[in-house]
Structure 1
Amino acid sequence: MTSAIPTAWPPRRRMPDLATLDEPTRHLVTTAVERLRAKQDAFGARFLALARAHLPGYDVLTDEEIRASAQQFMDTLVAELSALRVPDGALRGLLNTFAVERAGRGIPPEVLAVGYQMGSREMLALLDEVGVDVGLPPELLLAIHDSTWEFSNEAASMFARVQHDLALERAQFDAERRSTFASGVLGGTIPAEQINRDAHLFGLDPRSLHVPLAARAASPVAADAVRRAIASALHMPADRLLFAEVGASLGFIAPSSPERIAGHLVAVGLPVALNDLHSGFAEAVLALETAECFALTGIVRLADLGPRPLVLSAPRTADRLSARHMRALDGQGRANHDIEQTARVYLECDQRVRETAGRLAVHQNTVRYRVRRFEELTKLDLKRTEDLVTAWWLLNRRAVNPPGS
């Protein structure tokens, strides 16, 4: 013979609106509440014993703190019941405050949930004792049980949510601290004593050499992509790579120099001590700015850029020389543009006519003619070293900042 298997859970008994109870039942509730109030100290002691025996996560709390919180919950329950209110709303507010404080002490949400369930079980046991003594209707007691356990599930979700929110806040705070430290080191605004004192907090050894890196990003998403690319090249977790916005650049404090980064321009400074990292970062920024002007990509170092950084220097001197030598190129439209472009490529090709012609897709005689016209218009003789240097400097400056831009 087979027994019937229920196909659905029995309906949950909802705790009634206590104000709608008949007068005799309300009197019983009031009597039960007074009995519960008298047992608050006993409840606190019972929960303390349970917590010490079964909740190792509560070790950070004193006995008095555990007793006080248990009695506070009992007091809230008693106060709500005595006012003939279902206590869910008041308990929610208390639980949220409780969860934030306890999570801040390092107690995991699952431990808080178990603690709340244990407390609920003890409170229901007391209520059952009192209910039997005063004659509370069984249906009302069962409804209180159902409501309490359903609320216990809600409490567990609340504990987890609070823990999650606190974890996010801590992560954000930690990220801000790391960024502030990196910005101060790379920007040279933190004293050496503070750098040496705080470096270990961020996983850095002040006695070791570190490599400053500089990059650009147009958005937070792009900045994160650069950070991850650098971390990948260094074979380290991205969240361990210290970085910050320093002026118009992204600055990174790396344990070593990356060898290759695809799809991004990253300037690498010399390995230096943390105390001197700001000077190395300044060089990396100069390398970055120079590389951007010359449309370079990948890894760049100042030492590998040759005289290119000079293109960005001495603007007044450059303006005077440009007015003297380059003004004749500013007119006559396309022809002078071709002459200027050919002269610049000719110098980039180390004055090799064939290579220049190949890059520009013109005849070699065209290259010779345009170079000769450049010398005539600018009065710069490319066979003279001084004129050659001047021409290279001015041509590259004009490529970066075209006349009239």
Structure 2
Amino acid sequence: MEPETPTAWPVRRRMPDLAALDEATRAAVAAAVTRLGKLHEVFAERFLASVRSHVPGYAILSDEDIRASARRFMDILVSELTSLRIPDAALREILGEYAVERAARGIPLDVLAIGYQLGSREMLALLDEVAAEVALPADLLLAVHDSTWEFSNEASAVFARVQHDLAVERAHFDAERRSAFAAGVLGGGFPAERINRDAHLYGLAPQARHVALAARARSAGDVDAVRRAVASAVRVPADRLLLAQVGPDLGFIVPRAPESVDGHLVAVGPPLPLDRLDAGFEEAALALETALRFAMSGVVRLADLGPRPLVLCGAPTAEGLAARHLTALEATGRSSTDIEETARAYLACDQNVREVARLLAVHPNTVRYRVNRFQQLTELDLRRTEDLVTAWWLLNRRRGCRAEVDTAAPAGRGIRHSGGAGDRAERA
């Protein structure tokens, strides 16, 4: 008994260079092309019948629309073969345009792929009929079959790429619309009528109370880190968070105030209806600017900052008072920094000398000396309420205007805010 010979897979035939074919084969190809050129309507009707039977997703397209797309593919095929070119490149271009148009009309990727495969099958069936009429060589016909099915697989990759690009484009457009809405609400640029009309587009109830947040990104690349941290804190998907750049700040519209935002300073406004949220953001922005001036961290609210926001006000007044009280202090040179920082810590620690000494890692007598020296140079008596308030205001205002912050304290020390009123100065 002879052993069975294993069945071998047929060798895939590659399309030859059509221009290099012998004269007889070229004549057969030319006859086939001429015949195919007269069968546009036959192919269109066969393709229509096939997709209507097997592709329900094409139901949103009219019969004439489907026929027109079939004619376009036939035109490309005939045009390329007439010039003795294999129509791969031309088909890739038309496939991209076709996929964009179909995807825009809501036809999914898998439906497009099935439709193209059915079209390829109908085209090959028609070509088989024509090949028999014009005596197209069998080897060439088989190469056309192999090439067509190979390209059909590539078409699926073209459709996938187009669908991905469209999804990215839609997401980008959606993000821009969400950002524009947030900017209009938080910046006060939208009237109440528009806010109430468009709120549902972003899943918001106009009269429900929302919270405005303000934050500051350290760089353009830091914006995404802040966005993700806020999204996590308020339990909203990062891609659905309403965020906009409003002036120097990042503004957020969130359903609730966060308890904390990991690694970032965030200011919280009061809960308000959407059409009044610009006032809430203005309050949050003031709280943020104040917190930055005082080197605070965590979640802050304006109501918890006491008189600190006053240091942001009155530039002409501050300049006049600084010239009157701080000029002599500045003239002392490098020691002025130690004196100034000690005086500020003394006020922040409620005039507790031992606490200031611990905070600055110096002897209590050093604290007393520097505070006395500050009073002598500035002529501000810290036992008098008016002078104490003036000193506190000037020192903290100057701190925010300088590029150098807390140079007298060891690295990492400063005033930390935990969100409650009456917080004491402590080591950060």
Q: Answer yes or no: is the 8 Å Cα contact 1:110–1:160 preserved in 2.
A: no
Q: Structure 2 counterpart of 1:97, which letter? A: E
The CA deviation at 1:334 is: 4.2
Residue of structure 2 in register with 1:279 after alignment:
279
Residue of structure 1 in register with 2:37 after alignment:
37
From the superposition, tell whether residues 11 and 295 of structure 1 become closer, same or farther in structure 2 (CA, over 3 Å): same
Q: Work out the CA distance in 1 between the residues paired with 2:85 and 2:402.
A: 79
From the superposition, tell whether residues 265 and 4 of structure 1 become closer, same or farther in structure 2 (CA, over 3 Å): farther
Deviations 1:179-208 (A, max 9, x none): 111112111112222111111111211111
Q: Work out the CA distance in 1 between the residues paired with 2:129 and 2:102.
A: 30
The CA deviation at 1:89 is: 2.5
The CA deviation at 1:301 is: 0.9
Q: Work out the CA distance in 2 between the residues paired with 1:81 and 1:56.
A: 32
Alignment pair present for 1:151 and 2:165: no
Specify the SS of the correspondent of 1:253. strand
Residue of structure 1 in register with 2:392 after alignment:
392
From the superposition, tell whether residues 338 and 142 of structure 1 become closer, same or farther in structure 2 (CA, over 3 Å): closer
Specify the SS of the correspondent of 1:110. helix
Deviations 1:269-302 (A, max 9, x none): 1111111212211111111111111111110111
Specify the SS of the correspondent of 2:259. coil
From the superposition, tell whether residues 359 and 33 of structure 1 become closer, same or farther in structure 2 (CA, over 3 Å): closer
From the superposition, tell whether residues 36 and 6 of structure 1 become closer, same or farther in structure 2 (CA, over 3 Å): same
Residue of structure 1 in register with 2:219 after alignment:
219
Specify the SS of the correspondent of 2:37. helix
Q: Work out the CA distance in 1 between the residues paired with 2:374 and 2:135.
A: 111
Residue of structure 2 in register with 1:62 after alignment:
62
Q: Work out the CA distance in 2 between the residues paired with 1:393 and 1:156.
A: 68
The CA deviation at 1:371 is: 2.7
Higher helix share: 1
From the superposition, tell whether residues 292 and 2 of structure 1 become closer, same or farther in structure 2 (CA, over 3 Å): farther
Deviations 1:196-226 (A, max 9, x none): 1111111211111111111111334311111
Residue of structure 2 in register with 1:332 after alignment:
332
How many matched pairs? 404
The CA deviation at 1:374 is: 2.5
Deviations 1:2-23 (A, max 9, x none): 534367x443212222233233
From the superposition, tell whether residues 137 and 357 of structure 1 become closer, same or farther in structure 2 (CA, over 3 Å): closer
Residues 18-29 of structure 1 correspond to what in structure 2 (within 5 A)? 18-29=18-29
Q: Answer yes or no: is the 8 Å Cα contact 1:186–1:277 preserved in 2.
A: yes
Specify the SS of the correspondent of 1:217. coil
Specify the SS of the correspondent of 1:38. coil
From the superposition, tell whether residues 87 and 395 of structure 1 become closer, same or farther in structure 2 (CA, over 3 Å): closer
Give the TM-score normalised by structure 2: 0.89
Which moves more between the two structures, 164-173 or 215-224?
215-224
Q: Structure 2 counterpart of 1:105, which letter? A: R
Residues 120-131 of structure 1 correspond to what in structure 2 (within 5 A)? 120-131=120-131
Residue of structure 2 in register with 1:140 after alignment:
140
Q: Work out the CA distance in 1 between the residues paired with 2:82 and 2:340.
A: 93
Residue of structure 1 in register with 2:86 after alignment:
86
Alignment pair present for 1:251 and 2:275: no
Residues 130-279 of structure 1 correspond to what in structure 2 (within 5 A)? 130-279=130-279
Alignment pair present for 1:353 and 2:353: yes
The CA deviation at 1:161 is: 0.8
Q: Work out the CA distance in 1 between the residues paired with 2:375 and 2:32.
A: 108
Q: Work out the CA distance in 2 between the residues paired with 1:279 and 1:54.
A: 58
The CA deviation at 1:393 is: 0.6
The CA deviation at 1:145 is: 0.6
Deviations 1:134-177 (A, max 9, x none): 22211111111111111111111111111111111111111111
Residue of structure 1 in register with 2:4 after alignment:
3
Residue identity over aligned pairs, in percent, reads 65
Q: Answer yes or no: is the 8 Å Cα contact 1:311–1:396 preserved in 2.
A: yes
Specify the SS of the correspondent of 2:319. helix
Deviations 1:230-255 (A, max 9, x none): 11111221111110111111111111
From the superposition, tell whether residues 90 and 378 of structure 1 become closer, same or farther in structure 2 (CA, over 3 Å): closer
The CA deviation at 1:404 is: 11
The CA deviation at 1:340 is: 2.5
Specify the SS of the correspondent of 1:213. strand
Residue of structure 1 in register with 2:114 after alignment:
114
Q: Answer yes or no: is the 8 Å Cα contact 1:330–1:403 preserved in 2.
A: no
Alignment pair present for 1:293 and 2:293: yes
From the superposition, tell whether residues 221 and 404 of structure 1 become closer, same or farther in structure 2 (CA, over 3 Å): closer
Residue of structure 2 in register with 1:308 after alignment:
308
The CA deviation at 1:318 is: 1.0
Q: Structure 1 counterpart of 2:361, which letter? A: A
Deviations 1:111-131 (A, max 9, x none): 111111111101111111121
